[in-house]
Structure 1
Amino acid sequence: MFFAQMLDHEYTTKTVFRENFFQDWREEMTHEERSLIQVLDKCDFGEIHAMHKAKVEVRKNMSKEEKLALKEANQKIVDEYGFCMLDHHKERIGNFKIEPPGLFRGRGEHPKQGMLKKRIQPEDVIINCSKEACVPLPPAGHRWKEVRHDNTVTWLASWTENIQGSIKYIMLNANSKLKGEKDWEKYEVARKLKTCVESIRNQYLLDLKSKEMVTRQRAVALYFIDKLALRAGNEKEEGETADTVGCCSLRVEHITLHEQLDGSDCVVEFDFLGKDSIRYYNKVPVIKKVFKNLKLFLENKEPGDDLFDRLNTGLMNKHLSSLMPGLTAKVFRTYNASIVLQEQLKELTNKSDNEVEKLLSYNRANRAVAILCNHQRALPKTFEQSMANLQAKIDARKEKLALVKTELKQVKKEAKTKGSPDPKLQVLVERKKGAVQRCEEQLLKMEVQATDKEENKQVALGTSKLNYLDPRISVAWSKNMEVPVEKIYNKSQRDKFAWAIDMTELDFEF
């Protein structure tokens, strides 16, 4: 069933996905099934797929009454399980439902895609609550793995998933007081970096000439973390097979040095898998000192050897925290992302632009950040059709505009030939002028929308907007530009950033 309901998706055409699925499926089979079903390509999932599609259609075609009944049933579940008490205040829980079983997809070309995500049982779940709290009851016939009373963490329940062995959590909603405070603290730490970033940069530039190799390697790595917003790269958990790396774990094979490339000197070509198996590919001109050091680091090394063989993430983080309390590679990403957004907004937006043009400029500023942070997404399956539909609407609107302009011309001509002013014709001229203006505004809106869709087709704007950009920059911009904040943040995002949206200062500087 899991495989059949994904037949329309490109995942089921990928060799790795199919091999992993078939291996896990065979483990679930009986002895008789295993001897009979030996080749995935010979299996026909058509009937199960058709059944799944039929169920989807039934859900789509539900009556208003059925939809309302379903909505009310879901709301009852939210009312019962969707809240907790935090410091005597009722707080909404983020997502209180455990992910159901299915086939693992992962991001990018993940080597474990297609493996079976097993159903989580109550025996896998740790509950975290106050000692005096009433412990929620597990389903009948089951028991919790453990009941814990740890007030130093913010999660309410946790379990370990079987694919990567990572721990998953039930947390408070994004708009909870606790989450808002954590968010505010994160951006304030990044703002503190602004006060000392120049001295840190001066120091790592001096360290590029250090007599100690470890200091030189650390300086080059810090240069990359600062200038390219690379992640430091945490140690892989045991059993992790995805060959993902960060700055400190780069290998010789991940970079190529070019004395000259595309009209630039000292170019470093990066090609590696970053977080979530997303490919990072970039050609970056660097300063001569960095280039010379990289040549030195590459000497007498094989492709699989570490580029920074004297450095690891632990050493880098220890060094960063000595430069400024709370400083990590992520703080650099947050700082640089927010600074880039602020600078791009100043450069790209004009107060005289209309709202549609201002929003296009905002998305372009956001995209500059997403590109810096390598936030990519796969091209949506429906992209070509969606763009074709939009283009058809643009063409139809152009035809309508040409027609309305012709009508306006004719009415003006008629009014002119009359000699004396005709009130009825004057009213008609004004109406036609209004129709032309409306048509031009609608056409501009559609053309801007098409530009926006095309430019953002493979860039994920949401990740940086939610995790790396200080929301106060966007809120101050929206108030200054008289653009409703609802146009920038959707309902759940406004809940998450309620602490920033409530601010009144318009001259906020990150």
Structure 2
Amino acid sequence: MAPTVCLSDGDDEDGPISFKRTASVKSEQEDDSEDEKPLAMRTTRLTSNASSTSRNSIKRRPGDSNTGTSSPLKKAKHSAIEREPKAADAHDNKIPLAPRLTSVKPSKTKPPAKNATKNKKKSPSSFTKDSQKGVEMKAKKTVRNSRLSKAMKVRQGSGSGKKWSTLEHNGVMFPPPYMPHGVKMLYNGQPVDLTPEQEEVATMFAVMRDTEYASKETFINNFFTDWRKILGKTHIIKKFELCDFTTIYEWHLREKENKKQMTTEEKKALRDEKGKREEKYLWAIVDGVKEKVGNFRVEPPGLFRGRGEHPKMGRLKRRIRPNDITINIGKGTPVPVCPIPGESWKEVKHDNTVTWLAFWNDPINQKDFKYVFLAASSSLKGQSDKEKYEKARKLKDHIDNIRVNYTKDFRSKDQVKKQIAVATYLVDKLALRAGNEKDEDEADTVGCCTLKVENVTCLPPNKLQFDFLGKDSIRYLNTVEVELPVYEAVKEFCAGKNKGDNVFAEIDTIKLNAHLKELMPGLTAKVFRTYNASVTLDAMLNKETEDGTLLQKISIYKRANKEVAIICNHQRAVSKSHDSQMAKLNEKIDELKVQRDGLKAELEKAKKGKRPGDDKDGSRKKKLTPEMLENKISGIEAKIEGMVITKNNTEESKTVALGTSKINYLDPRITVAWCKTHEIPINKIFSKTILEKFGWAMDVGPGFRF
């Protein structure tokens, strides 16, 4: 049996199959509010540094913000968009500054420029009651077909109080124990004996030979430091440069090939066996309702990768044991049986003010926690999502007063007021994250409140150039025109300081969010991101959607989705299959053009009464009327148009992560209403997973506006 090896904490496209499902669920639940945390953690802190930033889909402590996942570092260009003014659309003046950027500093990897001009919206096609009913029935059918349909109805909100009355579940599923393979690595050219524990860590490194991490100095140094602790001071292995992991790597390749050679029946048997092991952990009973559990698997041990140039990359993620895990279960309910004989849970709680089922400390960043929640499609998660978007909608009623308030303070003599005003402006207009202080061993990422002087360049007369590593070490590179008082204030904040000094020296995230809560109950910097993302999507869809084909309308949605992703700085690495995908599309388009040109030639002959030519095999072609040929030509031209649209969308969004904003920042009711208005099947926009997550939004009417 092959050993269990976890390769990645990074992008789940590159991670092992067993981990992809867990990662995807965590990312969908990344925006859970503070009331999801254990009660004790809402009143105490593990360390004096209470504002560390979250990474790798890990839930954070109270006071922290901006959790979630993003794609690996890829520098994306922020496109400028010019729109015609439209007096009738009251939403236009709500759009954040980011889509109206006047200057953008391009980065090394430059996505294709977006069309700068947009056509003015025509009147949308009429949406009859019959067609509306048909679209709504499709959406409802999708929801009904889900195994989780009875969990779709959102429970009544309960704020930070009681979330449930009864809760039953079976705990968490641990990875299987390591099975030694016995293949010896070489040290200084000689085979070396390793214990199973030592061999497991060596294998973790060996199988990463083809990745970029295997050549990174930080990764190698951290791996070898942690491995040496397991090897012990007396072990023969002393220097990394004398280690040769080739034999283990070759064993790994043979194992992969053996799996590929398995028959369909053998693969099915393995899947069935895996399904049986997981079945008991898949479901929880909440107030008598069967709900699906999201990330019930405990991560296997592995080497930490992180994002960007993370200082802890290569560190060993130790195996999580039952005594690391706290279980949350209803009172009077049987406590889940610990699946590992002779061991027991760290603690058992009965906290019905939270919705997590279990949690443990992250093995790499001990101040962080990893949680087991119900699946994104559960009613409790649906309630949380709806409350989040309703809070963002409420900001619409306060935004004008907030902007008047911070504009007034741009010239305040009180430095704290002045810095809060400018920071609020940047959070509002550029959708920047608030930012938190970092420990020395954490990735040097920043947000608005932690901007350093070296991250901001003042370009006369009133432009600011931002260049910093944001969340998950993703580069934010953007030049934007700002109001003159903001430009002058930032210039003043930076004057006389060293490059590593904070721009906003008088404030932090806690002060900023405390001020925001005074302007609107529950308002935080994160609410601004949700608001700006949703209001931008709503405005673009309602302004730019025209009568056209289904593909043309979907293309408009993707452009709007892309614009939001750019505002939120959601980037991803170019897919390894991108070039081959584009080549196949070009090949298909060329083939269709050849067919079209051939039919056009046949049409000319048919109009002149000439007989059709011969096929490639020499047989005579079937005689077709001019009308039949014209219909065939029209059909092929429609296919070509569709493929060209698909090709352009694929190329334009190759470095932009569209899914993150769709899952976490865009009110799904905007999309559902737009689909109903323009008679677009909802499954053309939302995947099955997202449909299950947002089942509560499917009944919204076509007239909904954010």
TM-score surpassing 0.5? Answer: yes
Q: SS of the residue aligned with 1:84? A: strand
What corresponds to 2:67 in structure 1? none
1:131 aligns to 2:331 (yes or no)? yes
Equivalent in the alignment of 1:105: 305
Distance 1:66 1:429, change over 3 A: farther
Cα distance in 1, alignment partners of residues 269 and 240 from structure 2: 44
Residue 471 of structure 2: aligned partner: 275
Deviation at 1:117, TM superposition (A): 1.5
**Which of 409, 412, 429 lines up with 1:207 in the alignment?**
409
Partner of 1:187: 389
Partners of 1:398 and 1:28 lie apart in 2 by: 63
Q: Against the structure 1 CA distance between its residues 266 and 440, is the aligned structure 2 distance closer, same or farther, given a 3 Å change threshold?
A: same
Distance in 2 (CA, whole Å) between partners of 1:368 and 1:342 is: 12
Q: How do 1:72-471 and structure 2 match up within 5 A?
A: 72-138=272-338, 139-165=340-366, 166-236=368-438, 240-259=441-460, 265-350=461-546, 352-414=547-609, 427-471=624-668
Q: Deviations over 1:218-276 (max 9, x none)?
A: 0000000000001111344x5642111111111211111110xxxxx311111111111
Larger RCO, structure (CA 8 Å, separation 6 or more): 2
Q: Which residue of 2 aligns with 1:69?
A: 269
Cα distance, 1:397–1:145 mapped onto 2, change above 3 Å: same
**Residues 71 and 298 of structure 1, relative CA distance in 2, 3 Å threshold:** same
Distance 1:210 1:239 in 2: 34
Specify the code of the residue in structure 1 equivalent to 2:559: R
SS of residue in 1 equivalent to 2:608: helix
Unaligned runs of 5+ in 2: 1-202, 613-620
Shift, 1:426, TM fit: 7.8
Q: Map Cα deviations across residues 69-112 of structure 1 (whole Å, 9 max, x no partner).
A: 23322332343111111112111101211111112122233222
Contact 1:242 1:277 in 2 (8 A): yes
Residue 430 of structure 1 deviates from its aligned partner by 4.1
Distance 1:239 1:149, change over 3 A: farther
Q: Secondary structure at the match of 1:270?
A: strand
Task: Check the 8 A contact 2:309/2:443 in 1, yes or no.
Answer: no
Is the CA contact 2:606–2:624 (under 8 Å) kept in the aligned structure 1? no
CA contact (8 A) 1:159 1:167 kept: yes
**CA–CA distance in 1 between the matches of 2:399 and 2:472?**
29
- Measure the CA separation in 2 of the matches of 1:485 and 1:400: 33
Give the conservation status (yes or no) of the 8 Å contact 2:415–2:506: yes
Q: Which structure 1 residue ranges, 5 or more long, are not aligned? A: 260-264, 418-423
Q: Secondary structure at the match of 1:247?
A: coil
Aligned-residue offset at 1:31: 4.2
Aligned counterpart, 2:677: 480
Render the CA deviation track for 1:426-478: whole Å, top value 9, x for unaligned.
85444433332332222222211211111111111111110000000011111
Equivalent position SS for 2:411: coil
Counterpart residue number, 1:495: 692
Q: CA deviation at 1:30?
A: 4.3
Letter of the 1:439 counterpart:
I
Measure the CA separation in 1 of the matches of 2:447 and 2:273: 45
Relative to its length, the structure with more helix (as a share) is 1
**Contact kept? 1:379, 1:457, Cα under 8 Å:** yes
String of CA shifts for 1:161-194, please: whole Å, max 9, x gaps.
Answer: 2212220000001111111011000000000000
Q: Which amino acid aligns with 2:304?
A: F
Shift of the 426–108 alpha-carbon distance from structure 1 to 2, 3 Å rule, reads same
Is 1:471–1:500's contact at 8 Å kept on the other side of the alignment?
yes
Measure the CA separation in 2 of the matches of 1:454 and 1:425. 39
Q: What SS does structure 2 have at the residue aligned with 1:168?
A: strand
Retained in 2: the 8 A contact 1:244–1:274?
Answer: yes
Relative to structure 1, is the Cα distance of residues 57 and 437 closer, same or farther in structure 2, using a 3 angstrom cutoff?
Answer: farther
Q: Which amino acid aligns with 2:697?
A: A
Counterparts of 2:634 and 2:410, CA distance in 1: 60
Post-superposition, which runs of at least 4 consecutive aligned residues in structure 1 deviate over 4 A?
30-33, 424-428
Separation in 1, partners of 2:372, 2:696? 22
Q: Do the aligned partners of residues 6 and 385 (structure 1) sit closer, same or farther apart at CA in structure 2, a change above 3 Å counting?
A: farther
Provide the identity percentage: 48
| Contact 1:204–1:222 under 8 Å retained in 2 | yes
- Alpha-carbon contact 2:611-2:623 (below 8 Å) kept: no
Matched to 1:161, the amino acid is D
- Relative distance call for 1:122 and 1:209 in structure 2 (3 A) is same
> Partners in 2 of 1:78 and 1:36 — Cα distance?
40
CA–CA separation in structure 2 for the residues paired with 1:473 and 1:54? 50
Give the distance between the partners of 2:699 and 2:206, measured in 1 at CA: 48
Aligned match of 1:58: 258
Amino acid at match of 2:349: R
